[in-house]
Structure 1
Amino acid sequence: MNELIEPDLLSAAFTQASRLLVAAILTGAIGFERERNEHDAGLRTHMLVGIGACVFTLLMVQLIHRFEGDDIRSDPIRIVEAITAGVAFLAAGAIIQARGQVRGLTTGASLWLAGAVGLACGLGEYVLAIIAVVMTLIILRLVKLLE
């Protein structure tokens, strides 16, 4: 029980919780824009994708630290590839072809980006994540006006 209140453990838990919260907020902004414009994948979906990518990233960081110095070789790029592939699979599900028309490409791309934002948040790269979300919202809003 004492190990639950150790300062290092509390600090790590706070760091993880803050990264998850930032991932939820940032990807929620993308999801809110999609939902407000009545697209299938909205607030919840984008937040879940972002949080999921963040959790996998946090686990990757923990595994690297846990086995540091052992003879086990860790390759964080493989985890990034797995996250990307999983999110791409979900994004592909948002793309529909019906009657010769393709729909959902932008929603699929925004889901893919939500995964990238979650990954960035998991690594503590908040500035990168914020810039990506701001650029995404500008593109989704302004480019639509120009079309």
Structure 2
Amino acid sequence: MTQFELGMWGWQALYLFEAFILSTSIGVERQARHKDAGTRTHALVGVGSALFVIISKYGFMDVLSSNVKLDPSRVAAQIVSGIGFIGAGVVFTQRSHVRGLTTAASIWITAAIGAACGAGLFLPALVCTVLYFIAVLLFPALMRLISPHLGYNDVLRLRYVDGHGTLRLILSVCAAHDISVEGFATHKPKNDKAQSAGGERIVSANLEIRGRENAELISDLSDLDGVISVTRIDGNE
């Protein structure tokens, strides 16, 4: 084994380690948001993509000759199409809404970052990782700033006492605030802990709304008789 081969192997190990660090950081953000694809999935996608690129670059050097010529991009090119199968597994449709697109995109960009690390393009991989966090962390805050001037989508989680016309009152308050209800998914827990002190059933519901942001909406919903809590949840998928 020559000194050149040892040095090349050392760089390849460094590329894999870089891919692991950057892809894991993206996975941590997804897992913190309780998404289906978390730290392990992103780490494996990033390292796997890096290894495929390394194989594509160095894995066939022993068979090269004047009669054998290889395209070093052929193996790496299959990452783009192959990663779509994983991304498709986290995308699903609920009513008329598509969920999981951001997580699917994070898996896709993680594969690209891993491939860049495998190719030795560490700076573009690092910049791409930084841009990812700008998109998922700063863009939602920016949208909250400009949403008073634009129509927006939001998701509210409500807990209320069932059987007292509370749902009708909730929809009436939304209409009074010029908020349209795009979806309303309810869940009635069957365990005893879900019941109030008076033995009445507590309903948990996700209310998908569209309209101009109104700070008084949550306050007015919370003041309704029978409503226990109203919270805004992260609709970023």
Give 5+ residue unaligned stretches, structure 2.
144-237
1:113 aligns with 2:102: no
Aligned equivalent of 1:56? 52
Aligned equivalent of 1:39? 35
Change (3 A) 1:144 1:7: same
1:141 aligns with 2:140: no
- Where do 1:67-78 residues align within 5 Å? 67-78=63-74
Pick the structure with more helix per residue.
1
| Paired residue total | 143
For 1:34, the aligned partner's letter is: R
Larger Rg over CA atoms? 2
Say what the alpha-carbon RMSD is for the aligned residues: 1.6
Pick the structure with more strand per residue.
2
Alpha-carbon deviation of 1:46? 0.6
Aligned equivalent of 1:101? 97
Alpha-carbon deviation of 1:54? 0.5
Question: How far apart are the structure 2 equivalents of 1:61 and 1:26?
Answer: 21
**Matched residues, percent identical?**
36
Structure 1 residue runs of 4 or more that deviate by more than 4 Å after TM superposition: none
Question: How far apart are the structure 1 equivalents of 2:66 and 2:59?
Answer: 11
- Offset from partner CA, 1:94-134 (integer Å, 9 cap, x none): 11112222111000001000000010000100000000000
Deviates more, 1:87-96 or 1:15-24: 87-96
Question: How far apart are the structure 1 equivalents of 2:59 and 2:36?
Answer: 35
Q: Work out which of the residue numbers 19, 22, 25 in structure 1 matches 2:21.
A: 25
Alpha-carbon deviation of 1:36? 1.1
- Offset from partner CA, 1:55-112 (integer Å, 9 cap, x none): 1001001135334443223223322321111112111111111222211100000100
8 A contact 2:56–2:74 mirrored in 1: no
For 1:132, the aligned partner's letter is: C
For 2:9, the aligned partner's letter is: A
Question: How far apart are the structure 2 equivalents of 1:70 and 1:100?
Answer: 58
For 1:54, the aligned partner's letter is: A
- Offset from partner CA, 1:17-61 (integer Å, 9 cap, x none): 111000000011111111111111111111100000001001001
Give 5+ residue unaligned stretches, structure 1.
none
Deviates more, 1:53-62 or 1:66-75: 66-75
Q: Please, what TM-score do these two structures have when normalized by structure 1?
A: 0.89
For 1:143, the aligned partner's letter is: F
Question: How far apart are the structure 1 equivalents of 2:30 and 2:106?
Answer: 9
Q: Which structure would you say has the larger RCO, counting Cα contacts within 8 Å and 6 or more residues apart?
A: 1
For 2:137, the aligned partner's letter is: R
Q: Work out which of the residue numbers 1, 9, 12 in structure 1 matches 2:8.
A: 12
Aligned equivalent of 1:83? 79
